[in-house]
Structure 1
Amino acid sequence: MSLEAFFPYRLAIAAEAFSRNIAQVYSKEYGLTREEWRLLYLLANAERLDSQELSRRTTLDKVQVSRASQRLEEKKFISREISTTDRRLRDLSITEAGRSLFEDIKPKVDARAAEMLNAIPQVDRAALDKGIEALILAVATHNEPAD
């Protein structure tokens, strides 16, 4: 069995290529890393999230979340405060400057994603969407707790 035929590998390659293509929008023009964009995206759609929840939702580890959130805070795009419920965590929220930046970038990211997705025939796109949903459900139902 070749690596190129291994489904997890193929899925990871496709996801990485898609993500890198989109990253060109926010990295070249706005100087954001992928981690910073993910945090900004989530915070733009939530009033406040703690660092643990951000880690869970982005698949970034706590160190990546910490470093990206520190950089975003230095750029004045988010604010960070020590959590009142757990002093090990930080509560993060988007600032007005961060929201303005997000609203400028988001349509450009959406356009880049649509450009790539529109290159897929509609019937294949529908099958891809359905397959991704099925995969997410299958993984969720077969997920074992971490040791």
Structure 2
Amino acid sequence: MATGSAAKKREPEPLVVLEQFLPYRLNVLAGLTSSALAQIYAERFGLSIPAWRVIVTLGQYEARTARDMAPDGVMHKSTVSRAVSALEKRGLIVRRPNLEDRREEWLALTPEGRAIYEAVAPEALAVEERLLSVLTPQEQKTLAALIDKLTQQARSLAPETIEEGDA
């Protein structure tokens, strides 16, 4: 009959240590970064994360279809659709027919939407700069290359129907 420490059952080693699991760590980093940015665009302009992504995409490309925006922002098409509807109701974006494909519409910023983009984009870039300030220029280049590499690999592994923020 075993007594003392020999009688204690050893806890099995965990298969995953959450704080060391890369998908979890990336999600934490993304969440914290999004929270910092949300303070700018949510408090000042009443924009959700998906709405901000639509505004930024249209600010960058002038006009896009909702279908084109979903994979760019890793958002499900229903998420993009809800954001587009909300932004249109607020008068921040307009829809124009796509004469080449009547099933979809071109989306563009209104002058009010462009003003929001131009007001908040520099502040978002400042948050990015503060975040990256702890890295040397070489570390920043290495990080960008590693993120690109991991993103490409993750796209090959991920099902097309995954919602943003999962993992």
TM range (shorter): 0.7 to 0.9
Give the TM-score, by structure 2 length: 0.76
Structure 1: unaligned runs, 5 residues or longer: none
Letter of the aligned partner of 1:73 in structure 2?
A: E
- For 1:33 and 1:26, how far apart are their aligned partners in 2? 8
For 1:47-86, list aligned pairs within 5 A.
47-81=62-96, 83-84=98-99, 85-86=101-102
Change (3 A) 1:121 1:47: closer
Count of aligned residue pairs for this structure pair: 145
Partner residue of 1:7 out of 3, 14, 22: 22
Give the TM-score, by structure 1 length: 0.85
- For 2:158 and 2:32, how far apart are their aligned partners in 1? 28
Question: Which residue of structure 2 aligns with residue 117 of structure 1?
Answer: 132
1:21 matches 2:36: yes
- For 1:26 and 1:47, how far apart are their aligned partners in 2? 20
Change (3 A) 1:146 1:38: closer
- For 2:42 and 2:49, how far apart are their aligned partners in 1? 8
Give the superposition deviation at 1:123. 4.5
Letter of the aligned partner of 1:117 in structure 2?
A: L
Partner residue of 2:58 out of 22, 29, 43: 43
Question: Which residue of structure 2 aligns with residue 102 of structure 1?
Answer: 117
Say which SS state the counterpart of residue 133 (structure 1) adopts.
helix
Give the superposition deviation at 1:80. 2.0
* Bigger Rg over Cα: 2
Question: Which residue of structure 2 aligns with residue 134 of structure 1?
Answer: 149
